[in-house]
Copies of this chain bind each other. A is one copy, B any other.
Amino acid sequence: MNASPRRKELTRLAAQLFVQEGFDKTTVRMLAQEMGIKSGSLFHHFKDKQEILAAVIEEGTHNALRIARRALESSPADPEARLRTMARAHLETLFTDRNAHVVALFEWRRLDDEAKAHLSHLRDAYEALWVDVIDAALEAGLIHGDRFLVSRFVLGALNWTVRWYDPAGPRTPDDLADELVAMIIPMKR
C-alpha cells in the first residue's frame, strides 16, 4: 500500500523489536520510542498494531520473491545449479532481511484473517519457485523421494537456520546452502 521512505524505516525498526520481544510483548509505546516519536503519533502512519505486523511481513516476503527470481534468471539451467541457486537465494534473503523473516516465520499466526489471505498469495508465489526447481531435480534423477516431502524437508532445514546460524561465525550462508545441497544429492564427493 503506502510505501513512503519514512514508513519503510519505521517498518524496519518494528521488525527488529518484534524479533527481540515478540509481537505481543512489543507495546505501541516501545515501538514509538524506538522510532523517536510518541505512541499516539504512531497511528498516523499505521491504522493499528496489526497493520505494522502486516507491513513487516509483506516487505520481507516481497524481497524474498524478488531476490529468488533474479537469482534464477542468471543461474545456469541444469537442475543441480538451479537447486543450489534457490538454496543460496533463500539463505541470502533470510539473513539480509533476517528480522522481517523471523517475524514472518514465527508471528504469522498473529495476523488477522484479512492480512493472512492477502499475504498467503505472496508466499505461495515464492513456494511455487521451489516446487519448480525441485520437480526438475527429481525428474533429472538428481534427488529421490516424494516431491511434497522433499520440498518440505528442505525448506524446513533452511528456515530452521535462523534459530542457530551465527553470521559472525566462520561459515557464510552460501556455505550452508552448498552443504545442504550436497547432503541430499548422492555421490557428489
Contact across chains for A110 and B159 when beta carbons are under 8 A apart: no
Interface centre among A25, A146, A153 (most CB of B within 10 A): A153
A40-68 vs B, Cβ < 8 Å mask (1 yes, 0 no) = 00000000000000000000000000000
A161 is an interface residue with CB less than 8 A from chain B: yes
Residues of B contacting A144 with CB < 8 Å? 182-183, 189
Q: A153-B183, A187-B187 are in contact. Are A22 and B109 (CB under 8 A)?
A: yes
A71 CA / B29 CA spacing, docked (Å):
50
Q: Of B153, B160, B186, which is within 8 A of A187 by CB? A: B186
Question: What 1/0 mask marks residues of chain A from 174 to 189 whose CB sits below 8 Å from any chain B CB?
Answer: 0010011011101101
> What residues of chain B lie closer than 8 Å to A176, measured between beta carbons?
149
Residue A150, interface by CB 8 Å: yes
A129 within 8 A of B: no
Q: A128–B74 Cα gap in the complex (Å)?
A: 42
Q: For the complex, would chain A's binding face be called helix, strand, loop or mixed by DSSP majority?
A: helix
Number of copies of this protein chain within its complex: 2
The listed residue (B110, B152, B179, B186) touching A149 by CB distance below 8 A is: B179
In the complex, chain B residues whose CB is within 8 Å of the CB of A182: 144-145
Closest B residue to A20 by beta carbon equals B109
Flag if B187 contacts A184 (CB, 8 Å): no
Other-chain residue from B143, B160, B189 in contact with A152 (beta carbon distance below 8 A): B160
Partner of A156, one of B149, B160, B186: B160
Name 22 interchain pairs, CB-CB below 8 A, sorted by A. Answer: A22-B109, A22-B110, A24-B24, A143-B183, A144-B183, A146-B179, A149-B176, A149-B180, A149-B183, A150-B183, A152-B157, A152-B161, A152-B164, A153-B179, A156-B156, A156-B160, A156-B161, A157-B157, A159-B160, A160-B160, A184-B184, A187-B187
